[in-house]
C-alpha cells in the first residue's frame, strides 16, 4: 500500500491511498480543475481513481468532489449525514454514484478494507478513516476537536499515520482570528492542536510505525516547526523523521 497528499490545510485537502489497481482519493477540497493538476503531478490519471471517500462536508474537504465524480464517473463513499449536508457544496454528487456508509461498519473497495472512525467535529456525521490491506494499516486523522477512547483504539498499530496538527494554542490566542472563531477551532468539535496531536501520537506510537505525517497545519495559527517539536517531544524521535503535508505541495508517494 502507498499514500500521498495532493495538499493539506484549510484551503483544501486530498489524500491518495493505493494498492495495486485500487486508488482511493480521500476528500477533494480543491476545485476539480486544480485537483486534476495535482493528481497528474503525482502521476495519477483522474479516470483511474476507484473511489472518492469523503470525511465530512466542509468546503476544504468536499469542494471538488461532485464535479470530479461526475466528470470521471467515480463512485463516492460517505455517511448519510455528509451526503445530505449541502451548505458548502455548489454541486450535488449524482445519486447513482453515492454509496452511503455507516460510521461504524468496515467496507471494502477493490481489496482495501476501510474502517470509518466517528470523530467529534462541527458538522453532520463526520468520519475519519483507517485503511487495512493485508497486514498493513494506514491511519488518516484530521478535523477532530478532541481525542475519544474510540479513536485511540481505532488507530492502534498503524504502519503510517497522517495526523492533524492544526494549531498552536498560543499562536491561535494571539493570532488574527476573532474570538468566536478561536473558540470554534480550539473547541471540542474543532481541530486538534499540537499538544493534542502529540498526546495522541504518544498513545498510538509503537515500533512498527514507519511514517508520521503532519496534516491540516494552519498557515495563520501554527508553524510546522512548532508542531514537529511537540511530536518529537512526545515520542523522542528524530525530528527529520516527522514529515509534513503542506498546502501548496502536498506530499509525494510513500510506501508502507
Helix (H) or strand (E) segment spanning residue 172? helix 169-173
Which of 63/137 has CB closer to Zn ion?
63
167 binds Zn ion (CB under 5 A): no
Q: Does 143 bind Zn ion (CB under 5 A)?
A: yes
Contacts of 31 by beta carbon, 8 Å cutoff, 6+ apart: 63, 64, 67
Binding residue for Zn ion, selected from 18, 27, 60, 159, defined by CB under 5 A: 60
58 touching Zn ion, by CB under 5 A = yes
Candidates 65-73, 86-94, 143-151, 225-233 — which segment interacts with Zn ion by CB under 5 A? Answer: 143-151
Nearest 5°: the CA angle 131, 50, 64 is 95
Q: Is 63 in the site for Zn ion (CB under 5 A)?
A: no
Q: Of the two residues 87 and 208, which places its CB atom closer to Zn ion in the complex?
A: 87
What DSSP string runs through 205-236?
Answer: --TT--EEEEES--TTT--HHHHHHHHHHHHT
Quick one: cell of 19?
Answer: 494498492
Q: Which is nearer to Zn ion, 114 or 145 (CB)?
A: 145
How many of the chain's residues bind Zn ion (CB under 5 A)? 3
Residue 53 DSSP one-character state:
E
**Which residue, 122, 51, 50, is CA-closest to 81?**
122
Contact between 164 and Zn ion (CB under 5 A)?
no
Residue 72 or 177: which CB sits closer to Zn ion?
177
Which residue is closest to Zn ion by CB? 58
162: which strand partners? 140, 213
- By beta-carbon proximity to Zn ion, the closer residue of 2 and 81 is 81
- Report the relative pairing of strands 251-255 and 107-109 from DSSP bridges: unpaired
Closest CB 60 distance from Zn ion, rounded Å: 4
Site of interaction with Zn ion (CB under 5 A): 58, 60, 143
Amino acid at each position: 500500500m502507498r499514500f500521498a497528499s495532493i495538499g493539506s490545510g484549510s484551503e483544501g485537502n486530498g489524500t491518495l491511498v493505493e494498492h495495486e489497481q485500487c486508488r482511493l482519493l480521500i476528500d477533494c477540497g480543491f476545485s476539480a480543475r486544480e485537483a486534476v493538476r495535482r493528481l497528474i503531478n503525482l502521476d495519477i490519471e483522474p479516470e483511474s481513481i476507484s473511489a472518492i471517500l469523503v470525511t465530512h462536508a466542509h468546503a476544504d474537504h468536499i469542494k471538488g468532489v461532485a464535479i470530479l465524480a461526475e466528470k470521471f464517473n467515480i463512485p463516492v463513499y460517505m455517511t448519510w449525514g455528509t451526503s445530505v449536508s449541502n451548505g458548502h457544496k455548489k454541486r450535488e454528487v449524482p445519486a447513482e454514484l453515492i454509496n452511503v456508509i455507516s460510521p461504524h461498519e468496515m467496507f471494502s473497495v477493490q481489496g482495501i478494507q476501510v474502517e470509518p472512525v466517528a470523530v467529534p467535529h462541527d458538522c453532520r456525521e463526520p468520519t475519519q478513516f483507517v485503511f487495512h490491506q493485508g497486514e498493513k494499516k494506514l491511519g488518516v486523522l484530521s478535523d477532530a476537536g478532541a481525542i475519544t477512547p474510540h479513536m485511540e483504539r481505532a488507530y492502534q498499530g498503524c504502519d503510517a499515520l497522517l495526523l492533524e496538527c492544526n494549531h498552536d494554542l498560543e499562536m491561535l490566542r494571539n493570532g488574527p482570528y476573532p474570538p468566536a472563531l478561536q473558540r470554534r477551532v480550539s473547541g471540542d468539535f474543532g481541530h486538534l492542536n499540537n499538544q493534542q496531536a502529540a498526546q495522541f501520537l504518544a498513545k498510538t506510537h509503537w515500533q512498527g510505525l514507519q511514517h508520521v505525517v503532519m496534516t491540516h497545519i494552519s498557515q495563520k495559527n501554527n508553524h510546522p516547526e512548532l508542531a514537529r517539536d511537540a511530536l518529537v517531544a512526545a515520542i523522542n524521535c528524530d525530528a527529520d523523521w516527522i514529515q509534513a503535508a503542506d498546502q501548496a505541495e502536498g506530499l509525494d508517494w510513500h510506501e508502507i
